[in-house]
Structure 1
Amino acid sequence: MAISSNLCEPDYTFLIFKCVDFPSVFCVNTVIKAYACSYAPEKAVFFYFEMLKNGFLPNSFSFPPLLSVCAKMRSLNLGHKCHGQVVKNGVDGILEVQNSLLHLYASCGLLTSVRQILVDMPVKDSVSWNTIMDGFIRADELDMAQKLFDAMPQRNVISWNIMMTAFLDLGKPGNGLKLFREMVKSGFKPNETSMVNVLSACGRSARLKEGKSVHRALIKDFENHSVIVGTSLIDMYSKCGRLDAAQFVFERMPVKNLVSWNAMILGHCIHGNPQDGLNLYREMLSRSSSSSKQFKSSDQNRIVPDEITFIGVLLACAREGRLTEGRSYFTQMVEAFGLKPNFAHYWCMANILDRADHREEAIELLRNLPFSEDASPEILFLARLFGSCRFEGNVVLGEQLAKHLIEQDPQNFSCFALLVNLYAVAGKWEEVSVTKEMMKEKGIKRNPGCGLKDMNEIVHQMVVPELRDRRIVGL
């Protein structure tokens, strides 16, 4: 019996029992893996326990996909149940299962459990070491991850990529570039992920010369590079101010997806001529029907704008002071494409209004941001602080409110981040340094999924351009 792991329909149980009187272990494991890779991975766990009731006897191949699902969901409850099954079935000494357990507990931030499993492992491979290193990074223990990386008995290209990605995520592109050079010097051949990382690092640190060198290497060693690599080239050239080179890459990409279009549109809107970005947006729409119903078609050839597209479009309107067009695009986003505005869109609209001498309306817009599931109370509060600082110059009030939050929750990273960003927007760099030093002394670290990144990107572009050089808000 053959069951494709690409199946997306949920009723796998029916398919199995329709084909055989009782499914083999291989058959059940295939279904578990198919569920784990589907749009509803949690069903892999439920299916497994349902099959146990029918007499299923699992083997070591049953558990890696199950544990992967628990890690993806960050569900310790399900993870502990599956771990119990691992022990009950006597496969807790199998390397692949142990690596999956490491991944589970590292994803959930339980480094104590990771260390315990590590102690009990007589044999470790590169997957084991990479998983542990990634666990330290997830727990914001970059120094420990670096020490582990330096002491690893064996590395592979994934090991290097994990560390490079960590440096990029923490706003240290220079460290990422240095690591890439060490990787090449050590004789490791970079893969596409490595190239994407180094291109991102070049773009973020505006190192055009090095970015060009990477591009030449791509032409030589990756003749048919992916859409992701092509998009990274567009992003790198845009951030380095070479929109002509970014456009050259874009026009010669044999396949473009929405991410590619967004990269080029944002490149023009943020780093180049805003009008070119708006023209490209219209060109993208011209490739689809003007009917909103047809925009939502499943036709893979259609490129339908998303929330990121409209951030670029609204940024262009803000830079050009186009109030009428800005309002029109905002309405189009909501009504024609059914997209829900987030903080970045409202922030762009507030800047459009301010540029058009509608300051009171801009302030009112930020003061009355609608609450949404993807916007934490900290985000909404920070929006109002920024509105107060940016449009009214009332830094004192914002400072008092932020300090009040810190008094209420002295270990909350977000509360300190509010204060740092407020000072940064006001250009009070000495206060920024003092606050960050205070955070270091108190051991205040980033909360997983803090949610400030997207907002900071908008602040970089729209409020105080000098932030691009100071890199202060990248906590």
Structure 2
Amino acid sequence: MAGRLLKLSLNFCEIDYTLLIFKCINFPDTFCVNTVIKAYASGSLPTKAVGFYFEMLEEEGVLFKPNSFTFPSMISSCTKTKDSVLGEKCHGQAVKVGVDRTLHVENALIHMYSGCGLNNVAWKVFDEMSMRDLVSWNSIVDGYVKVNDMEAAHKLFDKMPERNVVSWNAMMKGYLDVKNPGLVLKLFRKMVTTDGKGNDTSIVTVLTACGRSCRSKEGRSVHAAVIRMFMGVTLIIGTSLIDMYSKCGRPDVAHVIFNTMLIKNIVCWNAMISGESIHGKSPKHALHLFDEMLKLVDITPDEVTYIGVLCACARESLLTEGQNHFLEMTKKFNIKPSFAHYWCMANLYASHGLVKKAVEFLKNMPVDVGLSPQSSLWAGLLGSCRFNGDVAIGEQIAKALIEDDPSNNSYHGLLLIIYAVAGRWEDVTKMKCMMEERGVSVPGFSLVELTEIVHSLKVEDNISMLHKYG
């Protein structure tokens, strides 16, 4: 009875409640100890699962003999914390008890070692298995995906005796991460024809791939597939469709989808506001959407919301509105501005001929606001130093910053990217040479990121031309 009650306590996800019941049991057995270990591993203190295990080994009055059900939870706690040292300790205990060759223990070990980046050890476990199931295959494939070794992952994927939606999603996510949207689409088509329709994660991944590469035709095809498969436009799929259509230059279609959605969260609103402000013909639509959002009692703007709002103000040269929104963001909603917010405001000042003010504004950024492009949204905004149709304003701001503070390496990196998004590769080369001569190193700006930004802007330019003359 006590053991059954202890197991039921797991449903409450409260380790304190589970421990309270455990302490009331006179002679807790292996089942009881395993239940507490699982509770720790599933909760907010996963590392305590391993500590509790060793405590119980030495505790008097506890009838605990570890078995094959003891270790998967312990090992998963190490996966959560990416603690391979503790994971190896658990592995050693499993060997000592003699259950290391049990399927579910081996699967947990593969997942743990892969999650900790130790694919060579994960492969050793996988290679020595006497029997494998779908979990084994998915875990080893996902391990190679996580370290972006898509060649090894795909070879294993092709050898899988069977696949499920988890297998397909892992591969598609992997190719999305290494910026190969073509293979994401190819895998999606194959999945639909061979293994069924997939799930929300599958749809979101392939729509993201279409949006990032501005493949509107393929995006429409995926949208049609969602309708044909009667999947329904859930919140996450609807938000992904809004993002995809916006990035493909069709925020008007995105708006239609947005208006049909019965449930919208802040991510959904942000996707629509950013879509209108960055990709729309009239950024004022984004400001109108923002005003509508503020009327809702259950939605509060965040950092991403205000990137869209300030970008819209910059594109429309709405100086007073931009200043008010920046103040509102920091004072009313206590949102800490990122570089994207400062960059929008700098462009807004410069577009009114207030270049000195723009430079001062950027110089007054807090020290902990970095210039590293951590998101595609940030990268797109950096390219939007073309708020007025060219890069002149961005170049002027960056040069003024360098002249005022030549020792600040970040400003050199800023000008380097501005030249790159403008396609001024001779200037990029000159900047690189100059930076190397001065021993200036600007981390965070990789060639891959530059190429992706430039490619994205070129595609957007082509879309704009089609809308204008098509």
Q: TM-score range by the shorter chain?
A: 0.7 to 0.9
The change in CA–CA distance for 1:5 and 1:139 in structure 2 (over 3 A counts) is: same
The change in CA–CA distance for 1:213 and 1:367 in structure 2 (over 3 A counts) is: same
Match of 2:292 in 1: 283
Normalized against structure 2, the TM-score is what? Answer: 0.76
Instruction: Give me the whole-angstrom Cα distance separating, in 2, the residues matched to 1:468 and 1:72.
Output: 40
Correspondences of 1:80-119 after superposition (within 5 Å)? 80-119=88-127
CA shift for structure 1 position 100: 1.6
Is 1:17 aligned with 2:22?
A: yes
Amino acid at match of 1:281: F
Instruction: Give me the whole-angstrom Cα distance separating, in 1, the residues matched to 2:420 and 2:316.
Output: 25
Task: Note the residue ranges of structure 1 that are not aligned, 5 or more in a row.
Answer: 289-301, 406-413, 437-449, 471-475
Match of 1:440 in 2: none
CA contact (8 A) 2:399 2:415 kept: no
Deviations 1:44-74 (A, max 9, x none): 4444444444344333233323322322222
CA shift for structure 1 position 427: 2.5
Task: Note the residue ranges of structure 2 that are not aligned, 5 or more in a row.
Answer: 386-392, 433-442, 463-470
CA shift for structure 1 position 93: 0.8
Q: 1:345 aligns with which of 341, 346, 355?
A: 341
Match of 2:129 in 1: 121
CA contact (8 A) 1:12 1:31 kept: no
Which segment drifts farther, 131-140 or 1-10? 1-10
Match of 2:153 in 1: 145
Amino acid at match of 2:89: K
Greater Rg over alpha carbons, structure: 2
Match of 1:269 in 2: 277
Correspondences of 1:68-79 after superposition (within 5 Å)? 68-79=76-87
Amino acid at match of 2:245: Y
SS at match of 1:190: coil
Number of equivalenced pairs: 423
Match of 2:236 in 1: 228
Is 1:191 aligned with 2:199?
A: yes
Instruction: Give me the whole-angstrom Cα distance separating, in 2, the residues matched to 1:238 and 1:310.
Output: 17
Instruction: Give me the whole-angstrom Cα distance separating, in 1, the residues matched to 2:416 and 2:94.
Output: 46
The change in CA–CA distance for 1:432 and 1:26 in structure 2 (over 3 A counts) is: farther
Instruction: Give me the whole-angstrom Cα distance separating, in 2, the residues matched to 1:185 and 1:38.
Output: 39
Normalized against structure 1, the TM-score is what? Answer: 0.75
CA contact (8 A) 2:148 2:178 kept: no
Amino acid at match of 2:169: N
User: What percent identity do the matched residue pairs reach?
Assistant: 50
Amino acid at match of 1:313: V
The change in CA–CA distance for 1:465 and 1:4 in structure 2 (over 3 A counts) is: same
CA contact (8 A) 1:460 1:467 kept: no
CA contact (8 A) 1:6 1:34 kept: no
Match of 1:200 in 2: 208
CA RMSD of aligned residues (A): 4.1
The change in CA–CA distance for 1:12 and 1:60 in structure 2 (over 3 A counts) is: farther
Instruction: Give me the whole-angstrom Cα distance separating, in 2, the residues matched to 1:256 and 1:338.
Output: 23
Match of 1:357 in 2: 353
Instruction: Give me the whole-angstrom Cα distance separating, in 2, the residues matched to 1:335 and 1:393.
Output: 28
Correspondences of 1:326-345 after superposition (within 5 Å)? 326-345=322-341
CA contact (8 A) 2:373 2:444 kept: no
Is 1:166 aligned with 2:174?
A: yes
Instruction: Give me the whole-angstrom Cα distance separating, in 1, the residues matched to 2:169 and 2:345.
Output: 38
Amino acid at match of 1:79: G
CA shift for structure 1 position 24: 4.5
The change in CA–CA distance for 1:428 and 1:98 in structure 2 (over 3 A counts) is: farther
The change in CA–CA distance for 1:464 and 1:165 in structure 2 (over 3 A counts) is: closer
Amino acid at match of 2:198: P
Instruction: Give me the whole-angstrom Cα distance separating, in 2, the residues matched to 1:26 and 1:172.
Output: 47
Instruction: Give me the whole-angstrom Cα distance separating, in 1, the residues matched to 2:431 and 2:94.
Output: 47
Amino acid at match of 2:285: D
The change in CA–CA distance for 1:32 and 1:315 in structure 2 (over 3 A counts) is: farther
Instruction: Give me the whole-angstrom Cα distance separating, in 2, the residues matched to 1:423 and 1:144.
Output: 37
CA contact (8 A) 1:274 1:319 kept: yes
Q: 1:390 aligns with which of 365, 373, 395?
A: 395
SS at match of 1:60: coil
Match of 2:259 in 1: 251
Instruction: Give me the whole-angstrom Cα distance separating, in 2, the residues matched to 1:143 and 1:435.
Output: 35
Match of 2:222 in 1: 214
CA shift for structure 1 position 389: 6.9
